[in-house]
Amino acid sequence: MAMSKVLLALCKCILLVGLTKAIYSKMNEQTVNVIDYSMKNLTSMPIFQQNSTTDINLRGNLLQVVPALSFQQSKKLKSLDLSMNKLNLIERGAFEGLTELIYLSLRDNKLTSNSFHVGIFQDLISLQDLNIHLNFFSYEYTLILQSEISHLESLVRLGIDLRGQLQINKCFCKLSQLLDLELVGLRNYSDNLFQNSKLEVS
């Protein structure tokens, strides 16, 4: 009787240890997969070596440049938040290899006509959500930017500013998955620009 009680207690103990270990390693795995460097006053891009990272948050730093191949090791990346920095340059190949990326925010930076190259979004074949509000794109460049965006065929949600004389370009109508378009400052677009009748323009 006493023996079986001891055995039972022992079993419970082993079970508890096993359970704790499982929960711990799960948490550990999650903390490795999510890197939060938000609001740290970073002035240069950290080096990301974990190849299992799915989520990188760099919101609210002082970054000016996204160097080429910044996320080279992070092939599993699903979410990348670069909002509220001072970005004025995105080097060629900065987003190279991010074929699984679903969410990208470049909101509230200093991106202009000269900040990036043709093909910037080339590898982002899974991108569903792009926010590029609150930057400094000139009229001519907005058209090039729109052309780059038009290659993002998985895009569901897009936030972009089109101020003053800026117009939405025909090339957006290729975005057949687009359901949510958040435009700020748009003056002029035609209703039949999009093939997708489910699209909500807000």
Min CB(116)–ligand NAG separation in Å: 27
Nearer to ligand NAG, 191 or 197 (CB): 191
Binding site for ligand NAG (CB under 6 A): 39-41, 51, 187-188
Min CB(37)–ligand NAG separation in Å: 10
Nearer to ligand NAG, 130 or 166 (CB): 166
Alpha helices, DSSP H, located in 1-94: 2-33
Min CB(164)–ligand NAG separation in Å: 11
The per-residue DSSP string of 169-198 comes to: -GGGGG-TT--EEEEES--B--GGG-S-TT
- 3-class DSSP state of 129: strand
Nearer to ligand NAG, 40 or 170 (CB): 40
Report residue 8: phi and psi, to 5°. Answer: -60, -45
HSE of 58, CA atoms in CB hemisphere, 13 A: 28
Nearer to ligand NAG, 59 or 120 (CB): 59
